[in-house]
Chains A and B, each alone.
Chain A
Amino acid sequence: MSISPSVQATPEARELSVIFNRADRIFRRIVTAGALTSLILLGLIGTFLFVRSAQIFNDRGLKFITGSNWTAGSGDGIIPDDFSIGPMLTGTILVSVIALVISMPLAIGGALFVEFYATPKVRRVLTTLLDLAAAIPSLIFGIWGVVFFSSYGERWSDLLNSRFGWLPFIKVQNEVFGRSPFVAGCVLASLITPIITSVSREVFSRTPRDLVDTCYALGGTRWGAIKTVVLPFGKSGVIGGAMLGLGRALGETVAVYLLLNIVFRYNFRILESEGGNIASLIALKFGEATEYELKALVAAGFVLFLLTLVVNMVAASIVERSTRRR
């Protein structure tokens, strides 16, 4: 683009070669293999699910996702098969969102308490307990949730309904509480709160000490330091933790299976005793499914798989954006 003839052309950037020694080469192969394995597994799972369910998407197209019926046909063609997962898909999202809304304040509050208000001794004990709770199998939570929340959940639901019944998504048609998406959300919340708390606490504890000190040195209180430094610093990590929890909630099977009356109807009223999610649908129908129905279930699994992928990708981009701004 230059007008004047270039006498001394800018030299090309030189190629820089790297020599790995033997130990480096071997280690490099091991870690590369590790990284590839998870990618390949993900690809294989996706492919398997898609291949096994291709016929369903072919037969039913978008209706598989939007329709609200799950009827096995009579086999002779008089009553046709009609499989679609609309209400289960929305139910999955609904229950997970309820769980997240309940657990986020608990988790962030808990993490801040452990990191900034608890005495060192209490902090050590709580940290261990939290990490332990994050590893408890969801079945345990499911059983406990059924016992605990079927009584308390009813009372809370009643209270919610009488105070906030004017909100369209809280209003109920008949006042029978329990076994509602709200109760299932409560159980899921108690299931995912430990992991979100654990991750948040870890992130909060990484806040640069001198920034926190600066807040105190400026006459700030603990809460001031948390608001000014800790929360902005930990934001992306907390989002990451929330996504871990959300991923667990989206795929949660047993707790929802035990708690919800699986009803194939679009339901956005969180106190209504009906609902379901994809994972619980699969658990419910898998045992007695016909060959075609099995394919439909695999297709449902494929949708769930995609949903988690999308959620994780969105989360990753949120995290990236919030860290890049800094």
Chain B
Amino acid sequence: MSQTVQTSVTSVDGEQGEPKVVRGLEAKNIHAWFGKHHVLKDVSLRFPERTVTGLIGPSGCGKSTFIRLLNRMHEFIPGAAMAGQVLQDGHDIYSPEVDAAAIRLKVGMVFQKPNPFPAMNIRENVLSGIKLAHLKVADHDAIVESCLTRAGLWKEVKDRLTATGGSLSGGQQQRLCIARSLAVEPSVLLMDEPCSALDPGSTLRIEETIKELVEKIAVVIVTHNMQQAARVSDFCAFFLADGGPGYLVEADATKKLFTNPSDTRTADYVQGKFG
């Protein structure tokens, strides 16, 4: 059941030939366990640069587990184990000599619930990653402005950067979290149902933000909202777990997956027949 997102190029290993060469992130034959519980079986997916990949599927099919594997957040859960490889520009991020913290700088993450650091104001929140990772930066103000701008929040908060993150609305808080992730300049941003706690208006703003982000980086978004996947993603991957561990049913260009999927289960799911 291992499939790869169809792209124009198949070579990895950092070869730089034609301009459309895919560097980016690739998962190869990923398995995951919590204790003895096998939760994810043989998933292979590629996330090309400057694309949005949507991960869809019913609850409990391992989508969140999968994206936590992509930036080594999986290992924080007690009893968590994995097999397979995650390649970033051709290098296995699970090699023993790799510093997981450095990987997480390159592969950022936005969580389901908007969670700005409560003890910090807006500006400090944006800069928190730089402080946490001890990055040397010349111009803090420029970073605050550019990150908030990219996250689509600058105009709304530029006059109150010293207000606490908690004083913002839910949608604004989530965009602040996106800005916070951008400050350490990741090349991939993982989003785990970033809009599930937001109202439709805020959801739309986040989706616009995602479309702008993808001009520079790759975005991987887990969502339960099929319309959202159809709206924002270039590629889509459909996960399923029928009793056993979750697996990848089908991955393809979003348009094809929604209009002409190769698997009947995908067709049933995207048409809302189950899930």
Most buried by B among A120, A208, A220: A220
Q: A208-B115, A232-B118, A233-B118 are in contact. Are A213 and B73 (CB under 8 A)?
A: yes
Q: Which residue from chain A places its CB closest to the CB of B164 in the assembled complex?
A: A326
Bound Cα distance from A208 to B113, whole angstroms? 11
Most buried by B among A208, A217, A221, A225: A217
Per the 8 Å Cβ criterion, residues 225-277 of A in contact with B are 225, 228-229, 232-233
In the complex, per-residue mask of B150-184: 1 if CB is within 8 Å of any chain A CB, else 0: 00000000000000101000000000010011001
Q: Which residue from chain B places its CB closest to the CB of A235 in the assembled complex?
A: B119
Q: Quick check: is B57 within 8 A (CB to CB) of the other chain?
A: no
Most buried by A among B73, B108, B111, B119: B119
CB-CB under 8 A from A217, the residues of chain B are 71, 73, 104, 108-109, 111, 181
Indicate if the CB atoms of A218 and B166 lie closer than 8 Å: no
Q: Quick check: is A214 within 8 A (CB to CB) of the other chain?
A: yes
Q: Quick check: is A211 within 8 A (CB to CB) of the other chain?
A: yes
Most buried by A among B112, B118, B180: B118
Minimum CB–CB distance from B210 to chain A (whole Å) comes to 17
CB-CB under 8 A from A211, the residues of chain B are 115, 117-118
Indicate if the CB atoms of A210 and B166 lie closer than 8 Å: no
What band does the interface of chain B fall in when counting residues whose beta carbon is under 8 Å from A?
A: 20 to 34
Per the 8 Å Cβ criterion, residues 194-216 of A in contact with B are 208, 210-211, 213-216
Q: A208-B115, A214-B111 are in contact. Are A228 and B104 (CB under 8 A)?
A: no
CB-CB under 8 A from B118, the residues of chain A are 211, 232-233, 326
Bound Cα distance from A232 to B121, whole angstroms? 13
CB-CB under 8 A from B131, the residues of chain A are 224, 228
Interface of A is mostly: helix
Q: Quick check: is B105 within 8 A (CB to CB) of the other chain?
A: yes
What band does the interface of chain A fall in when counting residues whose beta carbon is under 8 Å from B?
A: 20 to 34
Q: Quick check: is B3 within 8 A (CB to CB) of the other chain?
A: no
Q: Which residue from chain A places its CB closest to the CB of B72 in the assembled complex?
A: A216
Indicate if the CB atoms of B113 and A210 lie closer than 8 Å: yes
Contact of B104 among A208, A218, A232 (CB under 8 A): A218
In the complex, per-residue mask of A101-145: 1 if CB is within 8 Å of any chain B CB, else 0: 000000000000000000010000000000000000000000000
Contact of B166 among A120, A228, A326 (CB under 8 A): A326
Indicate if the CB atoms of A220 and B117 lie closer than 8 Å: no
Q: Quick check: is A77 within 8 A (CB to CB) of the other chain?
A: no
Q: Quick check: is A287 within 8 A (CB to CB) of the other chain?
A: no
Q: Quick check: is A219 within 8 A (CB to CB) of the other chain?
A: yes
Bound Cα distance from A233 to B111, whole angstroms? 19
Q: Quick check: is B60 within 8 A (CB to CB) of the other chain?
A: no
In the complex, per-residue mask of B78-94: 1 if CB is within 8 Å of any chain A CB, else 0: 10000000000000000
Bound Cα distance from A250 to B259, whole angstroms? 74
Per the 8 Å Cβ criterion, residues 114-128 of B in contact with A are 115, 117-119, 128
Indicate if the CB atoms of B132 and A215 lie closer than 8 Å: yes
Q: A213-B73, A232-B118 are in contact. Are A219 and B111 (CB under 8 A)?
A: no
Per the 8 Å Cβ criterion, residues 170-218 of B in contact with A are 177, 180-181, 184
CB-CB under 8 A from A216, the residues of chain B are 73, 76, 101, 104
Indicate if the CB atoms of B111 and A210 lie closer than 8 Å: yes
Q: A215-B132, A221-B101 are in contact. Are A229 and B117 (CB under 8 A)?
A: yes
Contact of A219 among B117, B132, B164 (CB under 8 A): B132
Q: Chain B residues in contact with chain A, CB under 8 A? A: 71, 73, 76, 78, 101-102, 104-105, 108-109, 111-113, 115, 117-119, 128-129, 131-133, 164, 166, 177, 180-181, 184
Q: Chain A residues in contact with chain B, CB under 8 A? A: 120, 208, 210-211, 213-221, 224-225, 228-229, 232-233, 326
A-B contact pairs, 8 of them (CB 8 A): A214-B117, A215-B132, A218-B108, A218-B180, A219-B105, A221-B132, A232-B119, A233-B119
